Structures are given as C-alpha cells and as structure tokens.
C-alpha cells in the first residue's frame, strides 16, 4: 500500500517507519523543513529504541521517504494518517485542533481519488465528523463511501 503520514513526530515517524518495514511505500511529511532535511540524511530527531536502524534501512531501500510537500504525498497515497499535534488550548480547557483542521483542508485541496483517512492525533469525540465535513466539501461524489 502507499501510505502518507502527516506529521513526522513521535507518532508519525515511528508508525511510518514500521509500516515501511512491513513492505509498504511510506511518505512521512512534516512542515518542519529542518526535521525533513535531518531525516533525509538518516539523522533521527527523536530517540526510540531500534528506530534508527528501521528508519535507515527503509529509507535506503526507498520504501520510506521524507518530504515537506504535503500535496504530492496526499496525491500519491491510498491511506493517509493525520499525526499532527493537538496541544491543550491556551484559551479554553480543551484540545487545540487547528493543526488537524488545517491538514484536513489541505487533504480536500489535493484529494484525487478515494482514500482512507485515519486520525491518529488525539482528538475529542465528534472531531471525525468535523474532519469529514471539511474534506467532503466540494469533492467528487465517487471519492466518498
């Protein structure tokens, strides 16, 4: 399968590396260009036991790719995992979901066929409905199931 991990942090990088190790083609995308440059040079920005070996071998084999180009990664994938941060909001006692909704808008702008979209970020109940509403706005009916 062709998989896109949006957010190459603890969740996106570790899960993406493991999906690649299972034989999938994985794009790990991050808006932090410094992080992507490091990963493209096989430098791992976080520590998890065994992660460096898995990232390096799968990156070298071409199954694990790193980019800041979210549109390209969305277009070339069958499954998209949203793995961006959801910090506690400074104004109210709830999660700040603006990164998740921003990613959903970018998915809508770049979706080119039916895709499975998974929210891996920690979000409150009903966020899935809001993401679906953003993505399904003005897209072709045969992209929806």
Ligand X SMILES: NC(=O)c1ccc[n+]([C@@H]2O[C@H](COP(=O)([O-])OP(=O)(O)OC[C@H]3O[C@@H](n4cnc5c(N)ncnc54)[C@H](O)[C@@H]3O)[C@@H](O)[C@H]2O)c1
Binding site for ligand X (CB under 6 A): 6-12, 29-32, 35, 70, 83-86, 99, 102-103, 120-122
Three-point CA angle 59, 74, 103, nearest 5°: 110
**Shortest distance (Å) from residue 6 CB to ligand X:** 5
**Shortest distance (Å) from residue 140 CB to ligand X:** 24
- Residues belonging to the chain: 145
**Shortest distance (Å) from residue 68 CB to ligand X:** 8
Q: How many beta carbons lie within 10 A of that of residue 90, not counting itself?
A: 6
Q: Which is nearer to ligand X, 16 or 63 (CB)?
A: 16
CA distance 37 to 46: 14
Q: Which is nearer to ligand X, 75 or 120 (CB)?
A: 120
Q: Which is nearer to ligand X, 37 or 61 (CB)?
A: 37
Q: Which is nearer to ligand X, 49 or 141 (CB)?
A: 49
Please, which residues bridge with residue 5 across strands? 28, 81
Nearest one of 77, 75, 65, 79 to 30, comparing CA atoms: 65
């Amino acid at each position: 399968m062709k998989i896109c991990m949006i957010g190459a942090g603890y969740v996106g990088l570790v899960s993406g590396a493991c999906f690649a190790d299972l034989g999938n083609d994985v794009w790990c995308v991050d808006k932090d260009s410094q992080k992507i440059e490091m990963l493209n040079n096989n430098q791992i920005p976080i520590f998890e036991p065994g992660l460096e070996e898995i990232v390096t071998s799968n990156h070298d084999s071409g199954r694990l790719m790193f980019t800041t180009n979210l549109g390209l990664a969305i277009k070339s994938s069958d499954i998209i995992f949203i793995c961006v941060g959801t910090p506690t909001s400074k104004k109210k006692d709830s999660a700040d979901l603006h990164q998740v909704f921003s990613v959903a808008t970018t998915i809508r702008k770049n979706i080119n066929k039916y895709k499975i979209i998974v929210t891996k970020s920690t979000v409150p109940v009903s966020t899935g409905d809001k993401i679906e509403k953003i993505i399904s706005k003005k897209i072709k009916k045969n992209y929806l199931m």
